[in-house]
Amino acid sequence: MIVLGIETSCDETAAAIVTDAREIRADVVLSQLDDHTPYGGVVPEIAARAHLEHLDGLIRRAMAEAGIGFGDLDAVAATGGPGLIGGVIVGVMTAKAIAAARNLPFVAVNHLEGHALTARLTDDVAFPYLLLLVSGGHCQLLAVEGVGRYRRLGTTIDDAVGEAFDKTAKLLGLGYPGGPLVEKAAARATNPARFELPRPMLGRPGCDFSFSGLKTAVRRHVEELGGVLSEADRDDLAAAFQATVAEVLADRCARAIRRFKEDHPQGGALVVAGGVAANKAIRSRLATLAEKQRMPFVAPPLRLCTDNAAMIAWAGIERFRLGESDPLNFAPRPRWPL
């Protein structure tokens, strides 16, 4: 089975060709970073127009790289939400047009399901597994029991963790997108223990997260430093922030592991997914936790943690081989909880 995947829900235009033998035949991503940088964040209208301009060319490139034509496809999958609706519409309409013209099945994929199932594409992970899904818009702990069977154990009560990285980067004057820039600054820190930050929710019952207090604490430190940061201040604060986030994520995961093991005595892997899963300090903290808990730890390659179309094609394959597809009147969804 060969499937074309399309991703346009945020600021990455992406197309990929994936097979049900877990082979990524092509995976092209065009970042719109330069279009949005002057505004310090993603501008939805600019994103939608850029998707429209580039998507056809990217699909053509993906097909050429895979060495196939439209006649070789078995289905077309596109992100149907959640996301910036203008962009989602561009991806869905393009997929529907190909499906209609070639008489192919169309699968509308939940973007979060794309992240959630990536580890099965890269590492053939079996159900059930415990998933920490950490991206720009989401922060959730899920028991993944099957395709379409996600049980939420915890979520953020305020900011998503990627959002906290992006806002902290802004406070530190690092620019956009925040995650990778905070990680780079933290790696340069000479005194990572210099700043003390609160560890929100640490030790509290349940598996929920909270990050807005952490961001406020970073702001307070910046103000105490007179609003002007030296490079050393900035790097040390970035390191404190990143270490605190890693600690809080590990604490919440430890609690979720207890619940997961109660419900699934046969066990399962700890899997991390979403853009923030590209962070090496967070990956390594979670790997240590999994080892202590005697659970396999799976983190997809960095490229497949941030938004891409291979994960959308794969989630499409997972659903399509269970006999699921969507009608051509599927309406794109700005919100779509898992």
Which residue ranges make up the site for Zn ion (CB under 5 A)? 135, 307
Contact 66, 38 (CB under 8 A): no
In angstroms, the CA 181 to CA 37 distance is 13
Give per-residue burial for 180-200: e unless 16+ CB within 10 Å, then b.
bbbbebbeebeebeebebebb
Among 7, 27, 166, 318, binds ligand KG4 (CB under 6 A): 166
Q: Which is nearer to ligand KG4, 66 or 278 (CB)?
A: 278
CB of 297 to ligand KG4, least distance (A): 17
Site track for ligand KG4 across 131-150, x = CB under 6 A: ----xxx-------------
Q: From the CB of 279, what's the least distance to ligand KG4, in Å?
A: 3
φ, ψ of residue 227 to 5 degrees: the values are 80, -10
The reply to whether 278 sits near ligand KG4 by the rule CB under 6 A is: yes
CA angle (110, 312, 178) in 5-degree steps:
85
Q: Are 248 and 201 in contact (CB under 8 A)?
A: yes
Question: From Zn ion, ligand KG4, none, which one binds at residue 153 (CB under 5 to 8 Å depending on kind)?
Answer: none
Tell which positions 177-236 bind ligand KG4, by CB under 6 A.
177-180, 183
Q: Restricting to residues 86-125, which ones interact with ligand KG4 according to CB under 6 A?
A: none
Name the binder of 213 from ligand KG4, Zn ion, none, CB < 5-8 A by kind.
none
The yes or no reply on residue 272 touching ligand KG4 (CB under 6 A) is: no
Q: Residue 5 interacts with ligand KG4 (CB under 6 A)?
A: no
Which of the choices Zn ion, ligand KG4, none does residue 222 contact, using the CB cut-off of 5 to 8 A by kind? none
Q: Is 206 annotated as a binding residue?
A: no
Closest separation in Å from C-beta 177 to ligand KG4 = 4
Q: Which residues, 6 or more positions from 91, have their beta carbon under 8 angstroms from its beta carbon?
A: 6, 7, 8, 9, 51, 55, 78, 79
* DSSP E strands, the chain: 2-7, 12-19, 24-31, 75-81, 106-110, 129-134, 139-146, 149-155, 270-273, 297-298
Residues 6+ apart with CB under 8 A from 22: 121, 122, 124, 314
Binding site for ligand KG4 (CB under 6 A): 10, 135-137, 162, 165-166, 177-180, 183, 274-276, 278-279, 306-307
